[in-house]
Structure 1
Amino acid sequence: MKLYPLFADLSGRQVLVVGGGVVGERKVAALLEAGARVAVGAPDLTPALRGWAREGRVQWRSGRFEASWLDDVWLVIAATDDAALHRDIVALAEARHLFVNVVDDAEQSSFHVPAVIDRSPVTIAVSSGGHAPMLARLLRERLEVVIDPVVGSVATLLAQLRHRIRARIPDLALRRRFYERLLHGPVQSLLRRGQWALAEASAERLLDSVESTPSGSVVLLGAGPGDPGLLTLRGLRALNEADVILHDRLVSVEVLALARRDAERIEVAKQAGNHHTTQAQIHALMLEHASAGRRVVRLKGGDPFVFGRGGEELEFLRQHDIPYEVVPGITAALACAAYAGIPLTHRDHAQSVRLVTAHCKNSIDTLDWKALAQERQTLAVYMGNSELPLIQAQLLAHGRAAGTPFALIENGSRPEQRVVTGTLANLAEQATAHDVQSPALLILGEVAALAGSLGWFGRPPLGVTPALHAPSPKAAAA
Structure 2
Amino acid sequence: MIICIGAGPGDVGYLTQRGAQLIREADVVAGFDAVLNVVQSLIPADAQVIGMAYRDQVAQLDEVARLHHAGKRCVVVFMGDIHFSGFQYLERVERACGHPVESLPGISSAQILASRAKVCFDETTFITFHRRGDLDPFKRHLVHVLQDQRNAIVIPCPWDAARSFMPWHIAAYLLENGISPDHPVEVWENLTRGEAEWHGSLLECASHTCSDMSIMLIRTLAPMASQIEAAPVP
TM-score, normalising length: structure 2: 0.80
Task: Give the aligned residue type for 1:378.
Answer: N
Supply the AA of the counterpart residue of 1:443.
L
Q: State how far apart, in whole Å, the 1-side matches of 2:176 and 2:37 are.
A: 41
Write out aligned runs for 1:183-332 (5 A): 217-251=1-35, 253-269=37-53, 275-278=54-57, 280-308=58-86, 309-313=88-92, 315-316=94-95, 319-320=98-99, 324-332=101-109
Structure 1 residues 49-87: Cα deviation after superposition (integer angstroms, max 9, x where no partner): xxxxxxxxxxxxxxxxxxxxxxxxxxxxxxxxxxxxxxx
Structure scoring higher RCO (CA < 8 A, sep ≥ 6) equals 2
Q: Contact 2:36–2:51 (CA<8 Å) still a contact in 1?
A: no
- Separation (CA, whole Å) in 2 of partners of 1:358 and 1:316: 22
Q: Map Cα deviations across residues 161-183 of structure 1 (whole Å, 9 max, x no partner).
A: xxxxxxxxxxxxxxxxxxxxxxx
Question: 1-side partners of 2:56 and 2:66: how far apart?
Answer: 15
Matched, 1:378 2:156: no
Change (3 A) 1:265 1:252: closer
1:408 Cα offset (Å):
1.4
**Correspondence 1:363 to 2:134:** yes
Structure 2 residue 162 is matched with structure 1 residue 391 = no
SS in 1 for 2:179: coil
Equivalent residue number for residue 342 of structure 1: 117
Q: Please tell me the root mean square deviation across aligned C-alpha atoms, in Å.
A: 2.7
Structure 1 runs (4+) greater than 6 angstroms displaced: none
Deviation of 1:245 after TM superposition, in Å, equals: 0.9
Deviation at 1:237? Answer: 0.7
Q: Secondary structure at the match of 1:257?
A: helix
**Per the alignment, do residues 260 and 364 of structure 1 end up closer, same or farther by CA in structure 2, a change over 3 Å counting?**
same
Tell me the equivalent position of 1:413. 192
Deviation at 1:373, TM superposition (A): 2.9
Spell out, residue by residue over 1:2-57, the C-alpha distance to the aligned partner (whole angstroms, 9 max, x if none).
xxxxxxxxxxxxxxxxxxxxxxxxxxxxxxxxxxxxxxxxxxxxxxxxxxxxxxxx
CA 1:418–1:396: 2 relative to 1, 3 Å: same
Matched residues in 1 for 2:11 and 2:214: separation?
15
Q: What's the offset of the Cα at 1:253? A: 2.9
CA distance in 2, matches of 1:299, 1:393: 34
What do residues 144-189 of structure 1 show as CA deviations (whole Å, max 9, x unaligned)? xxxxxxxxxxxxxxxxxxxxxxxxxxxxxxxxxxxxxxxxxxxxxx
Gapped regions of structure 2 (runs ≥ 5): 159-163, 228-234
State the 1:400 CA deviation.
2.4
- Percent identity of the aligned residues? 27
Matched residue type, 1:332: S
- Between the aligned partners of 1:306 and 1:261, the Cα distance in structure 2 is 31
Q: Distance in 1 between matches of 2:168 and 2:208?
A: 11
For the residues of structure 1 that align with 2:45 and 2:56, how far apart are their CA atoms?
24
Counterparts of 1:256 and 1:424 in 2: how far apart (Å)? 38
Q: What letter matches 2:191 in structure 1?
A: G
Aligned 8 A contact 2:31 2:51 in 1: yes
Is the 2:61–2:93 contact (alpha carbons within 8 Å) kept by the matching residues of 1?
Answer: no
Structure 1 unaligned segments of length 5 or more: list them: 1-216, 270-274, 447-468
SS in 1 for 2:33: coil
CA contact (8 A) 2:146 2:152 kept: no
- Answering whether residue 216 of structure 2 is matched by residue 439 of structure 1, we say no
Change (3 A) 1:254 1:316: closer
Superposed CA deviations along residues 425-464 of structure 1, whole A, max 9, x for unmatched, are: 0113122xxxx21211111115xxxxxxxxxxxxxxxxxx
Go from structure 1 to structure 2 and tell me whether the alpha carbon gap of 1:261 and 1:378 turns closer, same or farther (over 3 Å shift): farther
Is the contact between residue 4 and residue 104 of structure 2 (CA under 8 Å) also seen in structure 1?
yes
Distance 1:282 1:406, change over 3 A: farther
TM-score scaled by length of structure 1 = 0.42
The one-letter amino acid of 2:108's match is T
* Maintained 8 Å contact 2:23/2:75: yes
Q: What corresponds to 1:14 in structure 2?
A: none
Cα distance in 2 between the residues matched to 1:444 and 1:317: 37
Q: Which is greater in Rg? A: 1
- Counterparts of 2:56 and 2:218 in 1: how far apart (Å)? 31
- Tell me the CA shift for residue 477 of structure 1: 8.8
Question: For residue 231 of structure 2, what is the aligned residue in structure 1?
Answer: none
Change (3 A) 1:389 1:437: closer
Letter of the aligned partner of 1:419 in structure 2?
A: E
Alpha carbons of structure 1 residues 400 and 252: separation in structure 2 relative to 1, 3 Å: farther
